[in-house]
Copies of this chain bind each other. A is one copy, B any other.
């Protein structure tokens, strides 16, 4: 950020009065620009004991498998965001269940939340951001082809039968280990 988005003046990067963190500040129109973590919301959709995964058609991690999830938008609830992303990426309309995981990824300023979701029918197909969508038994999960550590950690806990919700963090080295890019 170099310029004020309100008045076009150059901004500084400094600690505002009464604050203890650096922010972009416009001294011309007295605006402080805060930056905060973003929420990624998704589902863990299950049909008949099998889990629905999407193979990503877009970067990052194109070609790798993920649970349907994406950035929560202004004006919607976490549940609405999770179901919208499930429709957009997997063209599935499961019934939303309980919150299952809430995982902070501090080094990329994201919080990923996954809800359990029950598919009443095995109806799904690849949305524009997916190459393919498929149901996997626990034994069939392609662990070395999972896109993100938040997804593999959520899947592991679910398959182990651990009751949620699970609240934890992903460290940068876990992200690298899991091949997150």
Contact = CB atoms under 8 A, between A and B. Distances in A.
Interface residues of A, number: 41
A177 interface: no
A11 B4 CA distance: 12
Contacts of A98: 167
A109 B70 CA distance: 16
Interface stretch (A29-37, A137-145, A151-159): A29-37
A99 B165 contact: yes
A31 to B, nearest CB: 11
Interface in A14-57: 18, 21, 24, 33-39
A72 B104 CA distance: 11
Given A38-B36, A71-B34, A78 B6 contact: no
Contacts of A5: 1-5, 11, 24, 33
A38 B73 CA distance: 10
Contacts of A111: 39, 72, 78
A36 B74 contact: yes
Contacts of A167: 78-79, 98-99
A75 interface: yes
A35 to B, nearest CB: 6
Interface of A: 1-8, 11, 18, 21, 24, 33-39, 71-79, 98-99, 102, 104, 106-107, 109, 111, 113, 128, 165, 167, 169
